Amino acid sequence: MRTDLFPPIDPHRTGTLTRGLHRIYWEECGTPDGIPVVFLHGGPGAGASPTHRRFFDPAAYRIILFDQRGCGRSRPSAEVRDNSTQELIGDIEALRAELGVDRWLVFGGSWGSTLALAYGQAHPDRCLGFILRGIFLGRQTEIEWFLTGMRQIFPDAWQDFIAALPADAQGDLSWETLLAAYYRRLTHPDPAVHLPAAHAWSQFETRASTLLPAPDLPQEPNAATLAISRLEAHYFVHRIFLEDGQLLAQVGRIRRLPCTIVQGRYDIVCPAVSAYDLKQAWPEADLVMVPDAGHAALEPGIRAALVRATERYKLDLASLVAP
């Protein structure tokens, strides 16, 4: 079974979905008559990239990608107004209706796994199944881990993360105080304040995202680093706009659907315990624990497991969408 990414492809159709003050970019690749799959990117705020198209066989899948509110090619960039989990769920459902999709496979990694679960539980009858990577369940313990727990593994990166705050904000380093201090800076209107904070946040996350040192650390603050940093902090401040433990408690709504969970054993950003907890709540799901990987989707073992999953679902789901 194939384990390499498919060759690069271009979209054959693109568009913009207007939802209030947000204009949401979307694109379609692959075959129009194929198995519909929607790709939910991470972050929040990371945006979709051309590489994300390549997890799917373009001869078999109708590949649909979009940039969530406030990031990528969607506008306005880095906008926190009208930006919540519930509004993103509404965007996914509006896009499904706009494109005339009855049901689709939902593919999401990291924050995308959170959103995939939340969307699926809200609209189970619109889902064919799930491929999830680097599980983040949006629990307070996971937010706390990101802000202070990762220090146990990456003390040097965490020290640089703290050093980006002014001295008077470095006294109380509880996760809540640290988050509040960063959020004030990330949402400050002056680029001289919010861009350095965005750069520090993005560097901290990137340094912790791979098993081996990441060769492509963000070098300068820009619109992309601001979007991911500001939106992540925004969602953390609002506890992901979900009740603590909600996604596990409501997994019964989607247990009848097939699911593959791909998790790096040494994922520091989204530790493996969340994938394990999801598997305990969803025993029918397949859990693939990659023994030599961290968090990033393009680490070799993660990438191979994701492609194997899309190849397997290509066969399993073909009859469900046949004309």
pLDDT at 301: 97
Higher confidence at residue 322 or residue 173?
A: 173
133: which strand partners?
109, 262
- Out of 110, 113, 209, 274, which one is annotated catalytic? 110
Determine the Cα–Cα distance for residues 71 and 77; give it in Å rounded to an integer: 5
Determine the Cα–Cα distance for residues 243 and 37; give it in Å rounded to an integer: 28
pLDDT at 60: 97
- Per-chain mean pLDDT for the chain: 95
Q: Is the whole-model pTM more than 0.85?
A: yes
Mean pLDDT of 78-99: 98
Q: What is the pLDDT of residues 13-57, one digit of tens each?
A: 999 999 999 999 999 999 999 999 999 999 999 999 999 999 999
pLDDT at 135: 98
Q: What is the pLDDT of residues 153-212, one digit of tens each?
A: 999 999 999 999 987 766 678 999 999 999 999 999 999 999 999 999 999 999 999 998
Question: Is 123 a residue of the active site?
Answer: no
Question: Is 292 a residue of the active site?
Answer: no
| Class level of CATH domain 13-139+241-320 | alpha beta
CATH 3.40.50.1820 region(s) of the chain? 13-139+241-320
- Out of 22, 229, 267, 274, which one is annotated catalytic? 267
Question: Is 216 a residue of the active site?
Answer: no
- Out of 41, 52, 234, 295, which one is annotated catalytic? 295
Which three-class secondary structure string do you get for 236-279? HHCHHHCCCCHHHHCHHHCCCCCEEEEEECCCCCCCHHHHHHHH
Determine the Cα–Cα distance for residues 169 and 68; give it in Å rounded to an integer: 31
